[in-house]
Structure 1
């Protein structure tokens, strides 16, 4: 197997895992809490821009450029996006279903317009370049560079998965599911539905911001055109295909749909000349839609359906022990 093929495979998985992080954040909001967020691109953009401004070198043409370490940028991007999500949620979290979707979509549009027009800070339509990349000193060795980046992403996704799995099986996670399934019953038990929804929205948004920050540093360049509604469509397709409410499904769906997206891009590019990118992009979306419909016809709940978790100490489908001794007779 050639070095180029291994490097491309590592790069492909690295990008897929950045989308897996976004899917994990959406799974907290929608899969566990039922919050219909269609402004994903905006929250990802906040994390990317904050991290880029914190870590890039000083630039006399724009504000920012603090030159902090990459990890500081990732943490800062996640915290900033979590804070923005909290503020947005405080204003919109009482909205239901389609109303919340409209509000979050508006937030994403506002974020993109700010990134496009606030040129002294964001670089405007030209974006921000020269974002430091992990292991940049080893960029001359493409195999090591690709595998090292992949290792970092695997570690981040694994850590998030373990934390979110524990939260899902905790009393906090069970309250989220209870609110999603029957809010009135949860209120009758004394649970503050608004507070729990706000917490889930902020945590999910912070995870999306982390994904944006990580993705920006692995690409090395960001611009407003990177955060269009198509990104939101991709992430929703990933979560639905993998299985909403299942963290393993969110990761699997991200890898699978990103693979379909990359493969369809290569196939479509051969059908149209270079001057017809718009038609090629439209056909690519159609191909993704057909693949999505086919998967959902076979697996309506996604490839990995939601696990009905009772508690973190009990498995999803715990059965009584058939060999248990009979109760003592009186």
Structure 2
């Protein structure tokens, strides 16, 4: 039987950065709204929502396939069939609902779902990016491989796709019923209510480092430089806490050092950072958001690293400044790091 309830909301959680905005939507509307959250790809975020014990109609985890090849016709057909099956199972009776999603690039599963849902529902793209990292690539710059890639994704999603300058797929909203809304800053009350304390945190000098293993693929001698940084921190008498990426985890070499690994499930901006002297990262969205609330002790280490691709460092610095309202600070050298640590 087709549902006609107008106070139902479906939210697609696509990345850890969405979480604080999802909680904001939930708190503002939970008294008179039935919420369902569909977590795409990231099991840690699903586990986090599960731990919160929110009053939800549905909390569902939808993974990406373990085996998937864009140029394997058999696997493509299998994935297309799975997408259709998932839609029928979870969304076929969704009518007159409000649908929220947060990313219109990369995530072909959510893009496919929201395009179909937009025919009978109000679909809203919540845009919380302060710096546009997904500019459209003009079609005259498409190579043959780009056109082939786009054709494959259109088979999975639909025709409303283009490529970004970074060769990612992007969903266009023209000629659809999808609305785009810029979101406001999340209130401090939400952050306070869902604030997470680090277990057994040291009472002495300590630092929190946001780290991801994928940094090694884009940075030359990443491991060696990071070890130098760790040695400086230890020598200065700081206890080191590592915040893993919610989906990608942390670099295995860190297990060989005297560091404490934090819960990967918890979004970085919801960690209670009051007990840390400094917070470091390279190009994490979380350090940008924390810098807005806690100016003066949040630093990016990006200047200490050499990137493999030309202009990638400059691109990331612009991203950090844009997302943090220019509140993020930078460590310019290992000597600079030494001096900063000595001040506390």
Higher strand share: 2
TM-score (norm: length of structure 2): 0.24
TM-score (norm: length of structure 1): 0.24
Relative CO higher for 1 or 2, CA cutoff 8 Å, sep ≥ 6? 1
Higher helix share: 1
